[in-house]
Structure 1
Amino acid sequence: MDRSEFLYPRGSYRGAVKPENLVFNANLQEFANRVSLISGLQSNGKLTPEESFDQIKSLWKQLKRSKRELGIGQNPFRPTE
């Protein structure tokens, strides 16, 4: 196993295969990995709770922006292919 695969694992995608869904899935997995790292740093005293909160809040805003820009969930009645 490559060190990068160990540090940044990726799950396989099982939803409707559309480019925007695949991109959002990658963004969501990146968000989850970074939140996990921030949580570990805070638990070990390397970050304060405030720093951790601010970093996670920033990541959340990025994820929301990504969802909006990709149009995920904006038209639930659009036919899927």
Structure 2
Amino acid sequence: MASKDDFLYPRSRYYGQVQPKNLVFNANLQEFSQRISYICNLETGGKIPPAEAYKQIKLLWKELKRSKKQLQIGNKDIL
């Protein structure tokens, strides 16, 4: 029997280059995707207004960008 957390917050296997920073960013990206899905479903179902959904998604995007910057993902100069 799968746990409630596994059902609500599924994780996919990581196939990229295995480095700690890549694994952390992948986890952040999966969480971002899951939360965006919930927000979209709430807005589609009429539980939250579109402006609130946009505001929440914008905040999540800023968090993900900050995470990418802190982990130095995608910087060509840094190995």
Instruction: Name the TM-score class by shorter chain.
Output: over 0.9
Aligned residues: 78
AA at the equivalent of 1:36: S
Q: Matched residue of 1:20: which SS? A: helix
The yes-or-no answer on 1:47 pairing with 2:48 is yes
Q: Calculate the aligned-residue CA RMSD, in Å.
A: 1.2
**Structure 1: gaps (5+ residues):** none
Q: Matched residue of 2:10: which SS? A: coil
Identity over aligned pairs, percent: 54
The yes-or-no answer on 1:11 pairing with 2:12 is yes
User: Displaced runs of 4+ in structure 1, greater than 3 A?
Assistant: none
Normalization by structure 2: what TM-score? Answer: 0.94
Q: By how many angstroms is 1:3 displaced?
A: 1.1
Q: Deviations over 1:2-39 (max 9, x none)?
A: 11100110001010000000000000000000000000
C-alpha distance in 2 between matches for 1:59 and 1:4: 20
